[in-house]
Structure 1
Amino acid sequence: MDLRLLGIDNTPLFHTLHHMMEAAGEDSVNAPSKIYVRDAKAMAATPADVKEYPNSYVFVVDMPGLKSGDIKVQVEEDNVLLISGERKREEEKEGAKFIRMERRVGKFMRKFSLPENANTDAISAVCQDGVLTVTVQKLPPPEPKKPKTIEVKVA
């Protein structure tokens, strides 16, 4: 499979995948699966900004034209934040045909490893004006242990 046909040959991730596929041959057991390549494409096509504040982490992802029902925000095992969904092609009206189609349609996905101090029970997600903002609150820092004094007995 020639990844250049997908229009994604200028990213480092896909350059590496393309090289692996050429070296191994497409029918090789060691070649990346079509699902892996599809998921990698979905991740590469979903850029995000991540900010750290004193009390939270904020993930900002552009989601133009999507409704809240088209977007899924989950926390997977090992503190992995997963943002996924699908942008569907609009229905063609009778008599209209596309002259140019540049807006991306299909599945999208991003995964982020959350730090240990992320409070996975305090996550909020808001999509406004085509921008998804996911806020993950931080856990309070653990209280430092006070030294324990042990009485020394005379024998």
Structure 2
Amino acid sequence: MSLYFYEPFSDFDRLFDEAFNARTGGGNQVQRQRGDQVNPGVLKPRMDVHEDAASNTVTASFEFPGLKKEDVSIDVHNGRLTVSAQSNASSEREEGGYAVRERRFGKFSRTLQLPQGVKDEEIKASMEHGVLTVTFPKSAPELAPKKISIA
């Protein structure tokens, strides 16, 4: 059995931590440890997880708005799938006699525990319009429960 955690308020926690640290002048005096996220400078991309019992698959969708597939990395290590990306976008334009410069920098990372027995070649990934979709088997066929007939 695999457990997936959704943390809807992790962004709020981060914002409160940043506001508190800015107000008190403390750099990293308040640091919360949530799940795998020990590094407070790394943001978690939004994620949806769907299980399909009929096809025995799990589909995880990650939101990376404005990023291309070349900016995203997927790693598998010790039964854990880590999706990460880095955004380094900047733009410059003139508007109403003012120079407008916008910059977006940030690191994103999310880790999922894979079901036992999933092989690397069984994991499929695609990216379209800033949404990364990763599909993998819910359980390996050789690890699925087997029926034993009673004689």
Count residues with an aligned counterpart.
128
Q: Secondary structure at the match of 2:62?
A: strand
Q: Is the 8 A contact 1:88 1:106 kept in 2?
A: yes
Q: Which has the higher helix share?
A: 1
Identity %: 26
Q: Secondary structure at the match of 1:72?
A: strand
Determine the C-alpha separation between the residues in 2 that align with 1:66 and 1:107: 12
Q: Is the 8 A contact 2:125 2:133 kept in 1?
A: yes
Q: Secondary structure at the match of 2:89?
A: coil
Task: Please say which of residues 110-119 and 53-62 is displaced more in the overlay.
Answer: 110-119
Determine the C-alpha separation between the residues in 2 that align with 1:83 and 1:145: 36
Determine the C-alpha separation between the residues in 1 that align with 2:17 and 2:49: 25
Residue 121 of structure 1 corresponds to 121
Determine the C-alpha separation between the residues in 1 that align with 2:11 and 2:84: 23
Report how far residue 64 of structure 1 moved: 2.1
TM-score, with structure 2 as normaliser: 0.62
Larger Rg: 1
The one-letter code of the counterpart of 1:47 is R
Instruction: Within 5 Å, give how 1:1-155 maps onto structure 2.
Output: 11-12=12-13, 15=16, 32=31, 36-39=39-42, 42-43=43-44, 46-54=45-53, 55-77=56-78, 79-92=79-92, 97-98=99-100, 101=102, 104-116=104-116, 118-138=118-138, 139-140=140-141, 141-142=143-144, 144=146
Q: Which runs of 5+ in 1 are unaligned?
A: 1-7, 20-24, 150-155
Report how far residue 82 of structure 1 moved: 0.5
RMSD of aligned C-alpha atoms?
4.0
